[in-house]
Structure 1
Amino acid sequence: MGKLGISIYPEHSTVAKDMEYIALAHKYGFKKIFTCLLSVEGDKEKIMKDFKETISFANQLNMEVMVDIAPRVFGTLGISYDDLSFFSELGAYGIRLDMGFTGNEESIMTHNPYDLKIEINMSNATNYLDNIMNYKPKKGNLVGSHNFYPHRYAGLSYSHFVKCCQTFKKHNIRTAAFISSQAATFGPWPITEGLCTLEMHRELASATQAKHLFATGLIDDVIIANAYASEAELKQLSLLNSGLLTFNVDLHETITDLEKKIVLEEFHFYRGDVSDYLIRSTQSRVKYKNEEFKPTFTPDIKRGDLLIENELYGQYKGELQIALKDMKNSGKTNVVGRITEEEIFLLDHLEPWGKFQFSLN
């Protein structure tokens, strides 16, 4: 199962506020924390003390803290890649290398005696990972995560994202990507125009972004990059099932109680004999074959509409469908609701035999 995470930026907040946020995320089942040690400007002792206190609190809640670090910070703190005791003492679960080395250093780091995870950047489609693999890393300690982008229009394109992820999946390395909270106000830098991996996510609800990442089958863990997400966002994210695509829907007033039950309570899967026009979930027509399905609201059909065949369609009555294309309605199909506009693109990620469900918007 995928894990959810939050991000904290101690340099821009207080230990008390960070702890409050960590406790709230933990309440909603979040397991991961991303934090930055990209700069240690100012009072180094105080920064490290605060860091340690916050990480210790997270560890008590069994949360995994990943510390992002730039190579220049290694120099500032007097740390060498072949001695990671500093991060073990800090209580970190692992370290993320903001910039990489040459491959051999990363491999050596994975063999650290503390079993710290070494997280590498996934957002550049180079031979970086293949190169590290050539140096025989301890694979269980190697993980990947994408970058996030505070600058509008600078986030990754979807096609590039897929290309990057496939390299990591080929080597069976755990992957993570970042989503943006619409309520959060800050990140590691002054610019705040959202903070996401994929540019197409910037204006979407955080739960919709997460659904998309999980639905690609390319991302294991999803982390909110900016701080602080609202409790409502954390709750919505906590309700997601990373293995079951859930569409937010609006139901029409004409829907019957039985049709509503079919939409919201029945188990749905995409039949394997694929049509260009419809995703068909056929078990309801078997289960309710003796029930009445009178014609109700039968306008022409648009992509994203939820359909239930009425009794004019004979043996098909009671079958649930999702429209993939616009179609004429012969009057035999009740249009009972619609996937919310911002989630219609998720239909592209539902594959034959894929399981899905609906949730009221």
Structure 2
Amino acid sequence: MKRALGVSVYPDHSDIEKDKAYLKKASECGFSRIFMSMLEVTEGKEVVKEKFKSLISYAKGLGYETILDVAPNIFDELQISYDDLTFFYETGADGIRLDAGFDGNKEAKLTFNPFELAIELNMSNDVAYLDNILTYEANVPFLYGCHNFYPQEGTALPYDFFERCSVRFKKHGIRTAAFINSQAGKIGPWDVNDGLPTLEMHRHLPVDVQTKHLFATGLIDDVIIGNAYASDEELELLGSLNRYQLELAVEFTEQASELEKEIVLTEQHFRRGDITDQVVRSTEVRKKYKNDANPAHDNTQEFQVGDVVIGNDAFGKYKNELQIVLQPHSDDRKNKVGQITEKELLLLDFVKPWTKFRFKEK
């Protein structure tokens, strides 16, 4: 499934012109999806419709898909029914996210709405919610899944729980989404905003590391910035990110040679299928560079987790093989040429047998 980047906007807490400027910038950076909160509306039905319609129409002109976040109280507030989604269709939205669930049959029926609006489900529950809906023969192409975000510090999901919840959707081929946290964003749906990530471990990480992590899991198709507004630098950083292959940020040592930098930065690496616990081995490069001399340097210390090493001239047939250290060890036949940045070390868990990966200089 194609992967997408998204942003969130909160029309009841922001200025529409600022929202439009934000959407334009994000669009220029390759973002194509909007999470638009409707949880806080207090104005009348027609006023709400026109406000959201104006912003969604502008977003459509930029190529966005817009999903409205709704809850049962919104239907009461606006005096509309789950059995008639005309109101949301008339705003121009592409779908609605159900913050609360029903009995399974109701959700399945909603996927057959005449407007072909997507029905997005809350993924952040480790229960057979989706399975129940599917037993009622839901219209699967119009069924999405999206995790929650968590404004309060310390309340977002732990990774193992997130994984279990996500697998329930991914195994059925449902399009999935999760939220990351901008370190610049101050706007969310509530008066508490300690950031808006899905995973607690992401709350204080840079946006690119959060995004790489979610894509590397293979469980999330769309990554959405939960809070507004992300900085231009954050948007540009995510826009340049490789969505389909893990790119690890590396900091080179002073003694790293031009040859070693070329091996690290220009080659397509993959981990050997017959793996070892000690290192990630990229072995094809040694064949290409077997005739290139590589004198020893930075080779007498104990290598640490995340160090990038390359076999030197003393390593025989393994000269110029690239490795990423997973367990501390010493071997003077290897040169330390760099290290994975500390905040990206968590990504090493996702370099599995045959995983393709590249490096990008920090």
Quick check: TM above 0.5?
yes
CA deviation string 1:128-165 (max 9, x = no partner): 11111111110100000000001111000111101101
Counterpart for residue 271 of structure 2 = 270
Counterpart for residue 289 of structure 1 = 290
CA deviation string 1:156-183 (max 9, x = no partner): 0111101101111222111100000011
Counterpart for residue 148 of structure 2 = 147
The whole-number CA distance in structure 2 between the counterparts of 1:303 and 1:214 is: 22
Counterpart for residue 310 of structure 1 = 312
The whole-number CA distance in structure 2 between the counterparts of 1:315 and 1:204 is: 40
Higher mean C-alpha deviation, range 234-243 or range 315-324: 234-243
Counterpart for residue 180 of structure 2 = 179
Counterpart for residue 357 of structure 1 = 358
Counterpart for residue 347 of structure 2 = 346
Counterpart for residue 136 of structure 1 = 137
Q: Which amino acid aligns with 2:323?
A: Q
The whole-number CA distance in structure 2 between the counterparts of 1:256 and 1:295 is: 10
CA deviation string 1:183-225 (max 9, x = no partner): 1112111111111000011110011001000111111110000
Counterpart for residue 333 of structure 1 = 334
Counterpart for residue 217 of structure 2 = 216
Structure 2 residue 82 is matched with structure 1 residue 102: no
Q: Which amino acid aligns with 2:179?
A: F
The SS at the match of 2:175 is coil
- Give, in angstroms, the shift of residue 250 of structure 1: 0.7
Counterpart for residue 157 of structure 2 = 156
Counterpart for residue 230 of structure 2 = 229
- Give, in angstroms, the shift of residue 240 of structure 1: 1.8
Aligned pairs for 1:68-147 within 5 A = 68-147=69-148
The whole-number CA distance in structure 2 between the counterparts of 1:9 and 1:301 is: 48
Structure 2 residue 247 is matched with structure 1 residue 246: yes
Counterpart for residue 26 of structure 1 = 27
Q: Which amino acid aligns with 2:335?
A: N
The whole-number CA distance in structure 2 between the counterparts of 1:170 and 1:357 is: 27
The SS at the match of 1:290 is coil
The whole-number CA distance in structure 2 between the counterparts of 1:86 and 1:64 is: 17
The whole-number CA distance in structure 2 between the counterparts of 1:350 and 1:16 is: 43
Counterpart for residue 5 of structure 2 = 4
The SS at the match of 2:12 is helix
Q: Which amino acid aligns with 1:237?
A: L
Instruction: Specify every segment of 5 or more residues in structure 2 that has no aligned partner in the other structure, as ranges.
Output: none
For the 8 Å contact 2:277–2:327, the answer to whether it is kept is yes
The SS at the match of 2:130 is helix
Counterpart for residue 63 of structure 2 = 62
The whole-number CA distance in structure 2 between the counterparts of 1:335 and 1:192 is: 42
The SS at the match of 2:337 is strand
The SS at the match of 1:11 is coil
CA deviation string 1:277-336 (max 9, x = no partner): 01011122111111110001112100100000001001111111100110023x211000
Counterpart for residue 303 of structure 2 = 301
The whole-number CA distance in structure 1 between the counterparts of 2:187 and 2:38 is: 16
For the 8 Å contact 2:49–2:87, the answer to whether it is kept is no
- Give, in angstroms, the shift of residue 44 of structure 1: 4.8
The whole-number CA distance in structure 2 between the counterparts of 1:103 and 1:347 is: 38
Supply the RMSD in Å over aligned alpha carbons: 1.0
The SS at the match of 1:250 is strand
The SS at the match of 2:54 is helix
The whole-number CA distance in structure 2 between the counterparts of 1:56 and 1:131 is: 35
Q: Which amino acid aligns with 2:124?
A: S
- Give, in angstroms, the shift of residue 258 of structure 1: 0.7
Q: Which amino acid aligns with 1:315?
A: K
Q: Which amino acid aligns with 2:321?
A: E
The SS at the match of 1:337 is strand
Counterpart for residue 323 of structure 2 = 321
The whole-number CA distance in structure 1 between the counterparts of 2:250 and 2:196 is: 26
The SS at the match of 2:323 is strand
Q: Which amino acid aligns with 1:213?
A: L
- Give, in angstroms, the shift of residue 242 of structure 1: 2.1
Instruction: Specify every segment of 5 or more residues in structure 1 that has no aligned partner in the other structure, as ranges.
Output: none
For the 8 Å contact 2:40–2:189, the answer to whether it is kept is no
The whole-number CA distance in structure 2 between the counterparts of 1:227 and 1:135 is: 37
Q: Identity of aligned pairs, percent? A: 50
Counterpart for residue 168 of structure 1 = 169
